[in-house]
Structure 1
């Protein structure tokens, strides 16, 4: 870590680096960076990861020791073997299952037929697309720190041993944590492998990578967000089914954040 640079060539002293190992043997290390430089440092290290560094970068409000913490007897287990099993699942099938379960649960909680019809219209991508604006020529720019993430002047910049950013929820179970996600249709909350399926699919389709995680919050940098109404509608319903907390109405989501370079997630 002594060769890690922040800003204009500043070397991080070894005594300022915190190292940790998860109960499942995943190594992480990190140091504090100014909030104003954090995203630039993350982008630099994402490039290094793509070049084969083996260390995936993620920013957080918590230090590496808290980032990787998980009870030794936690179920499900994390680590590299768990990643192999999670990657073996078809992400499209996982996403379709979660979306269908979310629709069933939403309709079950609707007060009347009119409310049910409105939800069906918005949670059906083909119908939602008809209410969205036409194709955009370029992604909507976004501030990586838009919305509430506290007011700390520094973030922890962490490096985690990982081949892909979408592996983090399985390598480090509980990151992110979705305690209130419960669907009657499947009778379970979101599992680490479910998080991986969504993040993997969005990475492969849109160039999306997590740049911030702290448990209840997650943010993605999206290189190629969907710009057509059809693609934006599909992604908006996926994103809403995955995390509806603090999300705007689906037409607003599909015309706004989904077509931008930053996606934000928060679980209550």
Structure 2
């Protein structure tokens, strides 16, 4: 990885520079001097820019840049990590990142990948069941059609979720708003492997890891179906802003099973998840 300093060269999608970042922020009432904008390049050529942002301003600044990603070609993410840390290679076991890795991930049908991961997680869970009765109880929750029957009726409106809940950020008032050279948030796991990272995800008996392409598939599917956008990222922790969460029992049940298969750490029972966070505007993930 190489760090480029305070400025990045003009790119062919809008000439985003430290000065341009500073000017846009200033135009919207946020003071970010050009010298406070840092940049880095990953070993696989993915550029990252970033600047400090107050936690109280983070959501508004993130939305400001999200609304301009089609023009800039850069996707915003809130994180405790400065650009050089995001552009590092924290998980070499996951393979190289970059444009070729992203192209391969996007070439796959996201629903097929999600189905594959869900099936692996279900097999793993049933293999650990104590007996047939335990396995049948798990199936009541892991088969969406069964789970839906235990859920409340369709909600009129989504619940307002808390994007900051359970994040160990301490008392520091500032985070980083990092801009990644990506058009969509679901591209980032392939461009920067290890963000997010799921080192404890392992499926037996298939022996399957959760790979960058899997993250791309889940985030892409949820973006297309529910308007989910990547908001916060810090290694094994992730937050999504979900604009159209599933509100009916059938859709909420399917999403809850996908959530369980993708990241089961610190999740409540699936009926609670499907009737609660799944129907909210903030989804939380932590691979503990």
Deviation at 1:188, TM superposition (A): 2.3
Q: Does 1:88 align with 2:107?
A: yes
1:39/1:144 contact within 8 Å kept: no
Cα deviation, 1:47-101, whole Å, max 9, x if unaligned, reads 111x422110000011111111116976521111111110011111111111111
Which of 142, 147, 151 is the aligned partner of 1:132? Answer: 151
What does residue 88 of structure 2 align with? 69
In the TM superposition, residue 178 of structure 1 has moved relative to its aligned partner by 0.2
Of 163, 166, 174 in structure 2, the residue corresponding to residue 154 of structure 1 is 174
CA RMSD after TM alignment: 1.6
Kindly indicate whether the alpha-carbon contact (under 8 Å) linking 1:21 and 1:65 is maintained by their aligned counterparts in 2: yes
Matching of residue 214 in structure 1 with residue 271 in structure 2: no
* Structure 2, unaligned runs of 5 or more: 1-20
Residue 122 of structure 1: SS of its match in structure 2?
A: helix
Q: Residue 8 of structure 1: CA displacement?
A: 5.1
Matches within 5 A, 1:1-268: 1-5=21-25, 9-49=29-69, 51-70=70-89, 75-151=94-170, 152-268=172-288
Q: Is the 8 A contact 1:21 1:28 kept in 2?
A: yes
TM (norm. structure 2) is 0.89
Contact 1:23 1:72 in 2 (8 A): no
Could you tell me how far apart the structure 2 residues matched to 1:7 and 1:40 are? 14
Structure 1 residue 13 displacement after superposition: 0.8
Structure 2 distance, partners of 1:138, 1:144, is: 18
Which stretch of structure 1 is more off in the superposition, 125-134 or 142-151?
142-151
